[in-house]
Structure 1
Amino acid sequence: MITYSAENVLEILLSSEKINPNDLPASHGLYCLWDHLERPIYIGETHSKSQGYRSRIGKHIAGSVDMKHMFSRWYNLGPLFTFHEIKDPIKLKRKPDYKIRIKQEKKNASLVKKIKNKMIRDLCTVTIYPIYRGELSEADYHKMLLNIETNVVDIARKKYLSENVIPFKNEIIERYANDCTRTIEAFFAQDCLFKEYLSEVTT
């Protein structure tokens, strides 16, 4: 079995050409997510047989903000804020922020999420370190990727990964609104929810 140096893998992830999320291959391995300011914010791996780079990064962009979908959570602020839709009324009522969540209008959240996804795809990038499965079983391949990821992340967190979120500037968000009244209204509604949510969690 090939052995991988965590230092070498990290060096390649930090120095490789950045790829637009729309241009990612379907292969597997480690990846690094870069925010719109070209700062590395997250390192992960694509151990699932059904999720290569393209589909895994797609989850990070469009996935639930309540889960470990980094891009989606990273930019879930201000006018781009949305609550993940919880369809089960019992689970919804158990949420401590239930009274704020039910104020969200689905049409506003859907529109804002669609625009946020486009902004991320346009302005954020990914670097990759492909690792081929070869003759390994899925379980052994999974184990190998997780081990490499753990070692790489341990080094990256100490020195390289940005942890302070810097949102998109308002002028960038306004540009994507494209003077559309409906979009501007949705941004305003979600921003109000975000401020109410912040007030709730900080008191």
Structure 2
Amino acid sequence: MGADDYYDSVGQVLAYVLSSSDRIKTQGARKGGLNFYIQRDGILLELYCPTDRRYFSLSYDHRISELLRVKYDDEPQILRGHIERYNIEENRIGDQNLNDIVSYNRISDIEEQDVDDVYQNIQSYAIHSDCRIRDLKMRDPRENKDEELWDGIQISGLLYPFENGFSPRKYERTAQEVISVAKQVEDAIKRLDILEEIGY
């Protein structure tokens, strides 16, 4: 694929984004391609355009650590309670790293059965869409630690701008499917005990 074809395809997809009244919030560059953050119905989707593939992806990440971080920022007493629960020493930790360490400890309390229940709750929605679903992981933020924990779900839909039949309708369908499944994922994840306990 030549550079002209690539940039033409990126431009075509962005034109479809704007014609559907979605908003392009920010643009960046990831390894291997351009990425854009698109807002639709209050949900932020990532459009990733790799240079070495014949498709682009539209995805939404639902991270438990992000939900915890928002609560810790809004309600410091919840953070304080979790610091005490896990006997975390604060004096040698920066604020951001403290949030990450507390979140990691809290996420470690999620049982495998709880994760299975989340997937069970979204199964019927995922099956009836073309979305791909994959686990998100959180790495232990403490030094010299390599362990990872389940931290939520990424929902992705694929766009094929290099195919002749690609149209605004196909963009619209993919975006709507990603958002529909994302809303089900959000509902299922917010039913986890560790999130219900803090008011989600």
In proportion to residue count, which structure has more helix? 1
When the two structures are superposed, what TM-score results if normalisation uses the length of structure 1?
0.31
